[in-house]
Amino acid sequence: MVQVKKRKKKSSVIELSDALFYFADLLDGQKEEEAAEDLRKGAESLVNSPADDAEIFKIANNILEAFSGEHELEAYMFERNQDDEKFIWGEADELYLASTKVFHLARRVKSAGTK
């Protein structure tokens, strides 16, 4: 039997803020300074905001909009083919993991705020 452990909203918010800071650092290396700065502002807002569901929902929504909107961060969400025998783990793979983590955590936090 598989036991599923539910996360608390606060732990998801903390994990999202940490993931945002990490993804922003990777984006700096891609010369995506504006997107990185916006993500850092979102992370700082999450850390400094009270447990106000409406504010957290708004921040999560802004993060999700950065993926398909102005910053087009969804471009980092495409996984490379790892079947190639010459495959070497690199920065593109780190960007893939960081971007998908931020995206899915933001969706989780946003959906938790609507309940």
Task: Report if residue 4 sits inside a domain.
Answer: no
Whether residue 41 is contained in a domain is answered as: yes
pLDDT of residue 114 exceeding 80 = no
Does 1 map to a domain?
Answer: no
Q: How many domains does the chain have?
A: 1
Three-class SS of residue 66? helix
- Supply 98's token pair: 């960081």
Q: So what's the pLDDT on residue 52?
A: 76
In a domain, 105, yes or no: yes
Question: Where does residue 89 fall: left (phi above 0), alpha (psi -120 to 50 degrees), or beta otherwise?
Answer: beta
Does residue 23 lie in a domain region? yes
pLDDT digits (tens, 9 = 90+) for 4-62: 666 677 788 899 999 999 999 999 999 999 999 999 999 999 888 766 788 888 999 99
Of the listed ranges 16-20, 64-68, 71-75, 82-86, the one predicted with least confidence: 82-86
Q: How many CA atoms lie within 13 A of 50 on its CB side?
A: 2
In a domain, 2, yes or no: no
Domain carrying residue 14:
9-113
- The whole model's pTM is what? 0.83
